Structure 1
Amino acid sequence: MHADNEPLHITDMAALERLYGVPVAASISKEIDHIHPHYRAFIEASPFLALATSGPAGLDVSPRGDPRGFVEIRDEKTLLLPDRRGNNRIDSLRNIVSNPNVALLFLIPGIGETLRVNGRARILIDPALLLRFAIDDKPPRSVLEIHVETVFFQCSRAILRSRLWDAAQHVERSSLPSLGTILQDLSGRQIDAKHYDSELPERLKTTIY
């Protein structure tokens, strides 16, 4: 029984499994505990990933991007991910300090399949290691060492449904609120939208690394 105003929802695993059924064989056999050469090819071709973490304050997912192959495969169980400069919120790193469990989702422009990696991370700051990841003579402040626990590909349905790589679906930036407008409104006008937006292109250019 449920109240008239309460939507039907799943409350236990058995009900969830009855609703969706058993996974197909391929969805199980694609999952392994290491970086197979086939999966290596996906990682080396990817210029972008989403990094998911969890900590005392809750969950976080953060974008990471660089020239393709920016994630180094040290061996079949270890990935190295440079942490470039940003806004210094360091939400992901704060979470990793208290909970090393992470998940990565690799995307490749024009490719429908994505690659999912789950594992445990630690934050490395060895100067020699940081220098190896320098771009424009600017090393990252840290490198995430990720011990791989599971790896598998995700089929292309979500990318196909969203038409993510279809240029005809691209949205004009001017159709959305500018970053300055958002900051001005959320800060109670302590930040000036016009000033922020006018400086943003040059700021991005000079601080990207």
Structure 2
Amino acid sequence: MPSHRITDIAALEALYGTPGEASLIKVADHLTPLYAKWIMTSRLCIVSTVGPSGTDGSPRGDDGPVVQSLDPKTLLLPDWRGNNRMDTLRNIVADGRISLLFLVPGSNNVIRVNGTAIVSVAPDLLERFGQAGRLPRSVVVITVAEVYSQCARALMRARVWGSGDESGDLPGVGDLLAEQKADFDGAAYDAAWGDRAAKTMW
């Protein structure tokens, strides 16, 4: 049986055809005023990195803009409290390549940023994100290589912002943990999560 795997770029391009003009001219190599406005409105981004152990995707959110713009080529992403696995940070230290997807509730558009990153503990950068005496542990400094908008069809197909709450029958994180470790008390974990998150948000 012949393979149906596409193994070269020419075959891929033959299958999909020529990209439209809009998909080519939308790419900027820095934060233009309108791209910056869009990104500074976003409180949620998905961060993708790559390292020796593979790839990683991680959501990052804040109660204001999820990043700050240092200049048209530089974004700052604070690393607030999480689970201390440091998958994203480990990858950045080892490799540095990074991609971010910025989302805004109600908009089906997504803004994408590709570039390189470092992990910094420079006091002046940490202080930029100070909140009620709290500072992030580190700041990811992103050098923008390209920024562009993503076609809205994916979010439109998924009806992300207009489909209502579909989470009622989903397992809790405690359930997922108990599935991995039989003697883990998943119900207690889920019951305590709300208070624990409120006390350790930053």
TM range (shorter): over 0.9
The amino acid across from 2:92 in the alignment is I
- The DSSP-based 3-state class of the residue aligned with 2:136 is coil
| 8 Å Cα contact 1:178-1:197 kept in structure 2 | yes
Distance in 2, matches of 1:38 and 1:109, equals 18
What percentage of aligned pairs have identical amino acids? 45
| 8 Å Cα contact 1:49-1:104 kept in structure 2 | yes
Residue matched to 1:177: 171
1:139 to 127, 135, 138: 135
| 8 Å Cα contact 1:48-1:68 kept in structure 2 | no
Residue matched to 1:37: 33
* Alpha-carbon distance, 1:24 to partner: 0.7
Matched, 1:198 2:194: no
The 4+ residue runs of structure 1 with deviation greater than 3 A are: none
The amino acid across from 1:181 in the alignment is D
2:48 to 42, 48, 52: 52
* Alpha-carbon distance, 1:147 to partner: 0.6
- 1:36-79 deviation line (CA, Å, top 9, x unaligned): 00101111110000000000000001000002323111111010
1:68 to 42, 51, 64: 64
Task: Describe how 1:44-193 pairs up with structure 2 within 5 A.
Answer: 44-166=40-162, 168-173=163-168, 175-189=169-183, 191-193=184-186
- The DSSP-based 3-state class of the residue aligned with 2:81 is coil
In the alignment, structure 2 segments of 5+ residues that lack a partner are none
* Alpha-carbon distance, 1:180 to partner: 1.3
- The DSSP-based 3-state class of the residue aligned with 2:116 is strand
- The DSSP-based 3-state class of the residue aligned with 1:159 is helix
Distance in 2, matches of 1:65 and 1:57, equals 25
* Alpha-carbon distance, 1:98 to partner: 1.0
- The DSSP-based 3-state class of the residue aligned with 1:95 is helix
| 8 Å Cα contact 1:52-1:59 kept in structure 2 | yes
Distance in 1, matches of 2:25 and 2:81, equals 38
After TM superposition, the score normalised by the length of structure 1 is 0.93
- The DSSP-based 3-state class of the residue aligned with 1:180 is helix
After TM superposition, the score normalised by the length of structure 2 is 0.96
